[in-house]
Amino acid sequence: MKRVGFDRLCVRDASQPGAGIRHAATELFEACTLHGSAFDLACVTEPPFDAFFAATGTVPWSMRVPTFPWVHDLSIFSHPEWFPQSWVHRQYTTRKFLYGLTRAQHIFCVSEDTRRILKTHLPSLQKVTVTHEGVQRPKTIALWDEREDQVLMLGTVEPRKNIPFILDIWPAVCRILGRPVRLVVAGKDGWGNVAVTSSETIERRVSISDQERDALLKTSRLILVPSLHEGFGRVVLEAMAFGTPVIASAVGAHSEVVGQRGMLLDPQDRTAWINTIASLFTDRGTWQAQQDRGRDQAALFSWDDVAKQILAVIRDG
């Protein structure tokens, strides 16, 4: 049986908090472990390896077995200003990353958006497959009357998340609603010194456990993802899985995640965001319809399907 290596630094154990790529890599690893034997593959985190699945997309230069990187986000190429590196360091890391991809046996991308950007930088690449991501759907969800009177923004606080845009329009949202509604900004501080000051209507949570994160996803009445770009949009998918209506920016891979069942807006259109937030927060019928549509959309994203797709390529590669 062929041993497929996963980077143990990307696969967390149950006692560790998870977010972003690390969270996705862990759930994928669990699915690949479950289905590996059907493809005559064993998914492991300790060498020796017969093949290596690079969950971060970065192929180690020391790897001497066939490699299969999983590429998530290439914003560093299109928006280098979002990443706090010197020009020299950026040139080194991006060239090293691209060189690793040219050595790969096969490349997986989490979205068509990421694949498109990749092809602009490495147009000669042939073996590229889009997998998307999966999501673990809770068995039960909270209905309208079980929700807190709050809106959630979840993720690392950094410039490309476009958080100041929402902070700036929040007083106008509260005026339309006729009451102070709490906006929870949850996630660790990233680079860029994006200031989020707690107030009567703004609550900043920096360190949250997985349990607290899930509770926020489950009990918030609405989730906002106004990012200037996302290579996939995991928060959007998780929100829909938890039955929480989401408003996201109409950029990057968000359209692939929400399909025709979500609300996508220009990330700079103040009027559209203010009115849409207020409408969803007050119209129970529209809110319920969005909850149902989101759950149906999330059901299309299965870790079992992603794992089988990846395992089949590695087996045949």
Q: What tens digit of pLDDT does each residue of 33-85 get?
A: 999 999 999 999 999 999 999 999 999 888 999 999 999 999 888 888 787 77
Q: Tell me which CATH homologous superfamily contains domain 2-134+302-316.
A: Glycogen Phosphorylase B; (3.40.50.2000)
Same fold, 2-134+302-316 and 144-298: yes
Q: What tens digit of pLDDT does each residue of 217-259 get?
A: 999 999 999 999 999 999 999 999 999 999 999 999 999 999 9
> For residues 230 and 207, what is the distance between their CA atoms, to the nearest angstrom?
22
Question: Does residue 16 have a pLDDT over 60?
Answer: no
Q: Domain boundaries in the chain?
A: 2-134+302-316, 144-298
Once rounded to an integer, what is the mean pLDDT over residues 153-172? Answer: 96
Of the pLDDT bands very low, low, confident and very high (cuts 50, 70, 90), residue 15 is very low
> For residues 256 and 111, what is the distance between their CA atoms, to the nearest angstrom?
7
pLDDT on residue 199: 93
Put simply, whether the predicted model's pTM sits higher than 0.85 gets the answer yes
Q: Tell me which CATH homologous superfamily contains domain 144-298.
A: Glycogen Phosphorylase B; (3.40.50.2000)
> For residues 179 and 151, what is the distance between their CA atoms, to the nearest angstrom?
13
> For residues 196 and 212, what is the distance between their CA atoms, to the nearest angstrom?
20
Angle at 64 between CA 112 and CA 107, to 5 degrees: 5
